[in-house]
């Protein structure tokens, strides 16, 4: 899109608009008038217009004052002479339109209102695809791409890691497959459940049938509240859910690319990686990293607008809990009736202990693979402990909890530090929704209803649909 300037003619501005990708040029004449305390814009326009910049000046004799704000999203302009206040709301102008807001013109004197404006012409030739960048290939990013699979939108997903599905993460060691982030997908969202159990391929889908028990600070493990009706994963690991979503799309998933910076351009966003390399220009961007990382990304971006500061502040305020996960393997089976045990009073060093052998296809018969997630205080206090010492401590605590000395000596281990494991609150949705006026969208478990994979996916689906409507 090309924006063009308009020269002021006492309230009448003319602008030339050209659409990118075509040779079409059209001229638009737009008249600004102050009528009954509102500003009217009567443009004979061919398609939707987006106001990018507006300047207002009120003259009073020889004095002149101009106040301008940059970019869409402005709501109030105040010119110092004659107390003119112009509030403009509604930045997408579909065809001939009135942009209205209160205008308090000074009475008497020789005041006049002059308006300059610059806009982009967002009308498209039919069949001209739009392009979208998605930052992050977790459950939310995959669901957003999936929701756009029938839309006329070219989707490029940038993912800093080598895999997909983010914090719903799977690793392999020898013949073992294990989850070390999200353990399973809950069935709390009907739409996501239907997607996983009916729409996407279901081969290798696993329902963990053994129950979840509970323990408190005393370490007494007992029958607990197994609240989850089904606990879904896949024989090949939970990352399958994102892989299967992406398989249904034409999205281009670029692994090993960390998006470092966004740059606001008049008609979209330019992205850069951590070497400063240009990743391309996109009509819109969807950001999915955990809230603190998304706030950092905004902080590093070139986007000088009040909305950017507000968004960044709001997003950075989402609190997260930190979790250290230890993985302990044993060449023997445990004789217990439960799949997992959860610490209900949050007063034990261990928060969650799960047996990966209860998931079909994960662990060969005759072996045990324990996933031990430590509670927040332990995880924070021991975040920098050397991994050898950390895993020794985790194994000792596990042995004590299960009253089984053999567990102090696993034959192999693994671990993961999740600094931003799960959000403890969600972001204010009204604030993040304002970003859509800037072709910017956010999705993830911190935007959705709860800090869970199904909520991230649900939010991703809805965000993808919003993008399809607005692009
Ligand atoms: C220890 C633990 C246990 C959990 N247990 C469960 C559970 O049992 N059940 C459940 O439902 N949920 C569980 N969760 C929560 C679940 O994992 C998350 O809610 C869900 O995976 C969030 O998905 P998302 O797409 O919002 O974010 P993420 O999965 O974090 O995806 C964001 C993606 O963005 C990428 N990224 C970040 N920054 C950049 C950048 N600058 N450039 C490019 N890519 C970038 C990341 O690599 C990541 O792949 C658990 C989480 C943890 C950590």
**Checking DSSP bridges between strand 278-282 and strand 268-273, what pairing results, if any?**
antiparallel
Indicate if ligand 1 lies below 6 Å from the C-beta of 167. yes
CB-CB contact of 183 with 452 (8 Å): no
Q: Which of 372, 321, 43, 378 is nearest to 215 (CA)?
A: 372
CB count within 10 Å of CB 322 equals: 18
In the structure encoding, which two tokens stand for residue 163, read together?
């895999």
Ligand 1 atom 48, closest CA: 166
pLDDT tens per residue, range 46-81 = 233 344 444 444 343 344 443 333 333 333 333 333
Ligand 1 atom 1, closest CA: 181
Q: What is the CATH number of domain 129-168+239-318+425-471?
A: 3.50.50.60
> Is 175-233+320-422 the same fold as 129-168+239-318+425-471?
no
131/267: higher pLDDT = 131
Spatial distance between the Cα atoms of 402 and 337, rounded to a whole number of angstroms? 12
pLDDT tens per residue, range 142-186 = 999 999 999 999 999 999 999 999 999 999 999 999 999 999 999
pLDDT tens per residue, range 204-222 = 999 999 999 999 999 999 9
Indicate if ligand 1 lies below 6 Å from the C-beta of 359. no
The confidence score (pLDDT) of residue 432 equals 93
**Checking DSSP bridges between strand 412-423 and strand 12-18, what pairing results, if any?**
unpaired
Spatial distance between the Cα atoms of 377 and 255, rounded to a whole number of angstroms? 33
Pocket-testing residue among 288, 359, 372, ligand 1, by greatest number of atoms within 8 A of Cβ: 288
Average pLDDT over residues 35-54: 38
DSSP 102: B
Ligand 1 atom 14, closest CA: 182
Indicate if ligand 1 lies below 6 Å from the C-beta of 181. yes
Q: First-to-last CA distance in the chain? A: 13
Bridge partners of 329, per DSSP, are 369, 412
14/127: higher pLDDT = 127
Indicate if ligand 1 lies below 6 Å from the C-beta of 184. yes
Indicate if ligand 1 lies below 6 Å from the C-beta of 51. no
Indicate if ligand 1 lies below 6 Å from the C-beta of 441. no
User: What residue spans of 112-253 are helical by DSSP H?
Assistant: 139-147, 190-194, 240-247
Spatial distance between the Cα atoms of 373 and 398, rounded to a whole number of angstroms? 10
pLDDT tier at 6, thresholds 50, 70, 90:
very low
Q: Which of 35, 37, 36, 29 is nearest to 12 (CA)?
A: 29
Is the model's pLDDT at 445 over the cut of 90? yes
Write the DSSP assignment of 400-461 as a string of letters: HHHT-GGGG--SEEEEEEEEEEEESS---HHHHHGGGGGTEEE-STTTSSSSSHHHHHHHHH
Q: What's the 282 CA to ligand 1 centre distance in angstroms? A: 24
In the structure encoding, which two tokens stand for residue 311, read together?
């968004």
Q: What's the 169 CA to ligand 1 centre distance in angstroms? A: 8
Strand segments, DSSP code E, in 283-390 are 284-287, 320-330, 340-343, 350-355, 368-374
Q: What's the 139 CA to ligand 1 centre distance in angstroms? A: 7
List the chain domain ranges: 3-121, 129-168+239-318+425-471, 175-233+320-422
Is the model's pLDDT at 404 over the cut of 80? yes
Indicate if ligand 1 lies below 6 Å from the C-beta of 43. no
Question: What dihedral do alpha carbons 335, 341, 343, 348 form, nearest 10°?
Answer: 30
In the chain, pLDDT over 90 holds for what percent of residues? 68
Indicate if ligand 1 lies below 6 Å from the C-beta of 372. no
Indicate if ligand 1 lies below 6 Å from the C-beta of 231. no
Indicate if ligand 1 lies below 6 Å from the C-beta of 182. yes
Indicate if ligand 1 lies below 6 Å from the C-beta of 290. yes
Is the model's pLDDT at 3 over the cut of 50? no
Helix 240-247 crosses helix 139-147 at what angle (to 10 degrees)?
Answer: 20
Rg (CA), the chain: 28
Q: What's the 373 CA to ligand 1 centre distance in angstroms? A: 15
Indicate if ligand 1 lies below 6 Å from the C-beta of 179. no
The confidence score (pLDDT) of residue 105 equals 40
Question: What dihedral do alpha carbons 86, 90, 96, 99 form, nearest 10°?
Answer: -10
Q: What is the CATH number of domain 175-233+320-422?
A: 3.90.660.10
Indicate if ligand 1 lies below 6 Å from the C-beta of 293. yes
**Checking DSSP bridges between strand 440-442 and strand 284-287, what pairing results, if any?**
parallel
Q: What's the 437 CA to ligand 1 centre distance in angstroms? A: 26
Closest ligand 1 atom to the C-alpha of 163? 49
CB count within 10 Å of CB 179 equals: 24
Indicate if ligand 1 lies below 6 Å from the C-beta of 32. no
pLDDT tier at 266, thresholds 50, 70, 90:
confident
> Which residue reads 């002021």 in tokens?
8
Indicate if ligand 1 lies below 6 Å from the C-beta of 454. yes
Q: Report angle CA 469, 306, 296 to the nearest 5 degrees.
A: 80
């Amino acid at each position: 899109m090309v924006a063009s300037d308009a020269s002021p003619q006492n309230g009448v501005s003319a602008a030339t608009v050209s659409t990118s990708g075509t040779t079409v040029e059209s001229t638009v004449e737009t008249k600004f008038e102050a009528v009954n305390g509102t500003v009217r814009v009567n443009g004979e326009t061919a398609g939707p217009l987006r106001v990018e910049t507006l300047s207002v000046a009120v003259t009073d004799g020889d004095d002149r004052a101009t106040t301008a704000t940059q970019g869409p999203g402005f709501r109030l302009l105040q010119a110092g002479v004659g107390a003119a206040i112009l509030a403009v709301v509604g930045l997408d102008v579909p065809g001939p339109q009135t942009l209205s807001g209160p205008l308090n013109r000074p009475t008497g004197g020789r005041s006049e209102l002059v308006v300059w404006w610059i806009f982009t012409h967002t009308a498209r030739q039919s069949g001209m695809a739009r392009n979208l960048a998605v930052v992050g290939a977790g459950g939310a990013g995959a669901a957003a791409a999936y929701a756009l699979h029938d839309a006329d939108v070219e989707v490029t997903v940038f993912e800093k890691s080598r895999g997909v599905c983010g914090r719903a993460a799977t690793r392999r060691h020898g013949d073992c497959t294990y989850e070390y982030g999200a353990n399973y997908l809950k069935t709390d969202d009907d739409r996501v459940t239907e997607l996983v159990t009916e729409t996407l391929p279901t081969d290798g889908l696993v329902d963990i049938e053994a129950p979840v028990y509970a323990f408190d600070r005393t370490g007494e493990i007992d029958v607990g509240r197994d609240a989850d009706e089904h606990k879904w994963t896949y024989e090949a690991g939970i990352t399958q859910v994102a892989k299967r979503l992406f398989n249904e799309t034409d999205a281009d998933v670029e692994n090993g690319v960390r998006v470092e910076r966004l740059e606001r351009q008049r008609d979209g966003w330019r992205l850069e990686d951590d070497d400063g390399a240009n990743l391309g220009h996109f009509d819109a961007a969807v950001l999915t990293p955990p809230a603190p990382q998304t706030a950092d990304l905004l902080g590093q971006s070139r986007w000088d607008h009040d909305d950017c500061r507000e968004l960044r502040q709001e997003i950075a305020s989402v609190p997260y809990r930190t979790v250290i996960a230890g993985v302990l393997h044993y060449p023997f089976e445990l004789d217990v009736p439960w799949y997992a045990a959860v610490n209900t009073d949050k007063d034990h060093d261990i928060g969650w202990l799960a047996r990966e052998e209860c998931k079909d296809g994960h662990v060969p018969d005759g072996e045990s693979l324990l996933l031990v997630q430590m509670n927040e205080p332990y995880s924070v206090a021991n975040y920098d402990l050397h991994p050898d010492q950390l895993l020794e401590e985790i194994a000792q605590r596990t042995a004590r909890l299960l009253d089984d000395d053999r567990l102090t000596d696993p034959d192999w281990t693994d671990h993961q530090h999740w600094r931003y494991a799960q959000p403890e609150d969600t972001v204010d949705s009204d604030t993040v929704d304002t970003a859509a006026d800037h072709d910017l969208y956010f999705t993830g478990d911190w935007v959705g209803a709860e800090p869970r994979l199904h909520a991230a996916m649900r939010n991703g689906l809805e965000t993808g649909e919003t993008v399809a409507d607005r692009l």
